[in-house]
Chain A
Amino acid sequence: MGTTKKITAGAVAAALGAVTLTACGGEGGGSGEKPGGAGSKTVTLVSHDSFAASDAVLKEFTARTGYTVKVLKSGDAVEAVNKAVLTKGAPQGDVFFGVDNTTLSRALGNDVFEPYEAKGLDRVDPAVRLDGDGHRVTPVDYGDICVNYDKRYFADRKLAPPATFDDLAKPAYKDLLVVENPERSTPGLGFLLGTAAAYGDTGWQDYWKKLKANGVKVVDSWEIAYNQEFSGSAGGRKAGADRPLVVSYASSPPVEVLYGDPKPAEAPTGVSTGTCFRQIEFAGLLKGAANREGGKALIDFMIGKTFQEDVPLTMFVHPVAKDAALPELFTKHGVVIDKPLTLAPDKIAQNRDPWVQAWSSLVLK
């Protein structure tokens, strides 16, 4: 094999590259700045796919601190936490947002976060500060996972919508409820934990047997349950869905108003207030963060008034800061959950997998 061939082949290769590169012109997609670094002006926020913030609010952070936020979405909530655990010590960013009371123990147990007491923490309700004086995580928002109902369905039949877990197992509501698989969906898991909080460590299984006998339907994701099966949502109405009860969030009714086309005067859906499990979301400074100072500034900002007043309309959750005002959409179309169900993070950590497995063989098989 002579040099001729070698050169030919090399030239082919070079041309292959050149042709496509010129064909495509510039390949952009990213700025050239180096992330991280002590003097860096970029602070990287790692979060789940549901993270959202107004552009104006992120710009205000930059105006106030000089840091630019780069958001790295890292899958659904559980997946994002697991990635943070896996990359411990060499994190993907500086701050992690989105660990909640169902995943908190795994994150804390794996020592993912560096303690930092955020400025302004005294404005935050002590009830949601689950790490107490450890300050490894800072609460940012809370939301309630509740059964939602289709107002029109129950009005048409002159039937009272269910209010509690007990109601859901009654014959009047047979074949009406669709829930998410707790193995694969956060609201599904929240609903299961809610039943465990209501009926106790073993009692919940009997309750689910009743739900099963009453025709509960299980689907894999919130998207399918809410947009395809639930008759009260915009998507569900379009798809001809016929389940008037679904596990969703207490904030879903205002969202139906916000994105209604045209906007309805009143939310088409309501909330069964006795079925709510409270989810609290936290942010924390990642151990090994390249930009620790920027990260601290970001956490301070996240419990500041501007960011807190932004979360209801971007992530559809409630602010934790006492001085944050709720938007009219929430005060007008939202509901207040007086007695949400909760479980201690440690208890969830211990029981989560066995409960989900028990649930799976009880309900799916």
Chain B
Amino acid sequence: MRGALAALPAAFFALFFAYPVATIVGRGLKGDEGWRLGRLGEVLTRPDILDVLWFTTWQALASTALTLLVALPGAYVLARFDFPGRRVLRAVVTVPFVLPTVVVGTAFLALLGRGGLLDEAWGVRLDTTVWAILLAHVFFNYAVVVRTVGGLWAQLDPRQEEAARVLGASRLAAWRRVTLPALGPAVAAAALMVFLFTYTSFGVVVILGGPAYRTLEAEVYRQTAQLLDLPTAAVLTLVQFAAVGCVLALHAWTVRRRESALRLVDPAGTARRPRGAGQWALLGGVLASVALLLMLPLGVLVARSLDASGGLGYYRALRSVEASGGTFTVPPLQAVWNSLQFACAATAVAVVVGGLAAAALTRRAGRLVRGLDALLMLPLGVSAVTVGFGFLIALDEPPLDLRSSWFLVPLAQALVGVPFVVRTMLPVLRAVDARLREAAAVLGASPLRAWREVDLPMVRRALLVAAGFAFAVSLGEFGATVFIARADHPTLPVAVARLLGRPGELNYGQAMALSTILMVVCAVALLLLERVRVDGKGEF
């Protein structure tokens, strides 16, 4: 029965991920005379490749450490302090996570590059330095820590720590002995996710790092798309697979440990107004760091989207085809509509596939099904160019010649959305007590009725949250979309990138205006999510 539930997600994964990726990797590693695995050693001993591996690893470690350092206080504040605007703040810190890297790269260049705020104030320029990369990574992943750690933190019973203090433990000792062990697995899980996202960083590194810095992901892109050196790209893809596989295995392990018995309480009861100078200072510090690191780059985008006199000229220009000078055959504003449609379709696919997978994973799962869990996370860690090129050469024959089908865009976006759906649904589905369902059946309810009366009310909110997240991620997805989006159906991120690729003030202004629109659409989706948040149980 679990097998039946798992069949659709497994088939989806096999067809739209494993098969294309295996095909492109196979094309690289297979010669006329059979497999050429000697390539592995050859490539992996090249000094330039070793440089890439070294840089990829240490920048990911540094990014993860920095993100934890900056975001853990934020997680604490959002979990334990009650203050006006808390809900808005939680949505705001999540906006960066779903913004496409083109937009973020532009914002950071405007801030850290020549003529940016830092440059004007102190003459400091950080673009083409590793600092720009690290700061952008913090910007992107702040929400991962806040949501993963903060969600749990809000549910830990504060009375346990208080009890320890009553029994004579110092504040530090109580925290170290009681809270830290409970939070540990969540912190580890967050750290591993941040490591995964920064290890596979592409856009940030290419836009902000300049030619001197190259991650594995960027190198796979270069070897595949630019040099057509498929053997080298295949080896690098395998290396990335191995690394991502390790991270995911570790992650799965920490998640399982996290699910071990913790006595959780309603988060509404754990937050209180800050007391004393120390707590107010902490709140102030967190607000300041959020303002500086997260809001400022977004603010710069908005400022640049307004024309010289502070008017809305660039926004108005988005309505005409002519103003884009033939870049688009449709008004750029049409991209908003395209994006919404694609995101809707992608959300539908992601929710069905991810929901089924989560349902299959719910019951005490065997090793096989647990493997499915990790498998569905893999697309997060494999380069879009590998998947995209895989689509090109694997899905090229009827009935599977999907390459020119509009549906390929939502399919590719769904691949990225599924892991989020699984991670959101899983904890909630696991919490539904099977005995309730059985009781309903005993009392004569039909299976459908039992589902409607028992399961649905409990998972509905989680479902909406999952859908919302998949929707936001799809809206911002760039890597795979740019690869397959049709010229007459540009999505928002694609339109931004194309506008940035042309000279002239009007194009630049329109790119900023579209970025702002994308940001607002994402923010609205996330704010709606906040309204239906499921007790912080989801992992994102």
A-to-B contact residues, CB < 8 Å: 1, 3-13, 15-17, 19-21, 23-25, 27-30, 35, 44, 49-55, 58, 70-73, 75-76, 78-79, 82-83, 85-87, 90, 92-93, 106, 181, 183-184, 218-220, 222-224, 226-229, 233-235, 238-242, 248, 252, 255-256, 258-261, 310, 313-315, 353, 364
Contacts and interface: CB of A to CB of B under 8 A. Distances in A.
Contacts of A49: 498, 501
A234 B512 CA distance: 14
Interface stretch (B243-251, B271-279, B396-404): B396-404
A220 B210 contact: yes
Interface of B: 1-2, 4-5, 8, 109-110, 113-116, 119-120, 128, 206-207, 210-212, 222, 224-228, 304, 307-308, 313, 321, 325-327, 329, 338, 341-342, 344-345, 347-348, 351-352, 355-356, 359-360, 389, 392-393, 396-397, 401, 403-407, 409-410, 437, 441, 447-448, 450-451, 455-456, 459, 463, 467, 482-483, 485-489, 498, 500-509
A79 B326 contact: no
Contacts of B304: 238
B486 A239 contact: no
A21 B326 CA distance: 34
Most chain A Cβ neighbours within 10 Å, of B228, B356, B487: B487
Given A29-B489, A51-B487, A234-B508, A220 B211 contact: yes
A221 B321 CA distance: 26
User: For chain B, what secondary structure do more than half of its interface residues adopt (helix, strand, loop), or is it mixed?
Assistant: helix
B448 to A, nearest CB: 5
Contacts, number: 234
A258 B486 contact: no
Nearest to B329: A55
Contacts of A224: 109, 207
B310 to A, nearest CB: 14
Contacts of A256: 503-504
Contact of B392 (A16, A27, A92, A106): A92
B503 A228 contact: no
B501 A6 contact: no
A30 B348 contact: no
Given A72-B404, A226-B503, A82 B210 contact: no
B325 A314 contact: yes
A93 B5 CA distance: 38
Given A4-B447, A228-B113, A24 B486 contact: no
A10 B360 CA distance: 10
B5 A9 contact: yes
A83 B503 contact: no
19 contacts: A6-B4, A11-B451, A24-B344, A52-B325, A55-B329, A70-B404, A82-B228, A86-B392, A87-B396, A183-B222, A183-B226, A184-B211, A218-B211, A220-B206, A234-B508, A260-B504, A260-B505, A261-B308, A364-B212
B4 to A, nearest CB: 7
For the complex of A and B, list the 4 residue pairs with the smallest distance between their C-beta atoms, beginning with the closest. Answer: A240-B115, A259-B504, A30-B406, A24-B344
A10 B321 CA distance: 47
B341 A27 contact: yes
A35 B4 CA distance: 35
B202 to A, nearest CB: 13
A25 B227 CA distance: 43
Contacts of B207: 220, 224
Contact of A227 (B225, B325, B456, B503): B503
B110 A9 contact: no
Contact of A233 (B116, B486, B503): B503
A158 B406 CA distance: 56
B373 to A, nearest CB: 17
Nearest to A16: B355
A11 B446 CA distance: 12
Nearest to B210: A220
A364 B48 CA distance: 13
A20 B467 contact: yes
A4 B347 CA distance: 28
Contacts of A20: 344, 347-348, 351-352, 467
Contacts of B389: 83, 86
Contacts of A314: 325-326
Contacts of B501: 49-50, 222-223
A260 B504 CA distance: 6
Contacts of A23: 344, 467
A220 B308 CA distance: 28
A24 B115 CA distance: 43
Contacts of A226: 503
Contacts of B210: 218-220
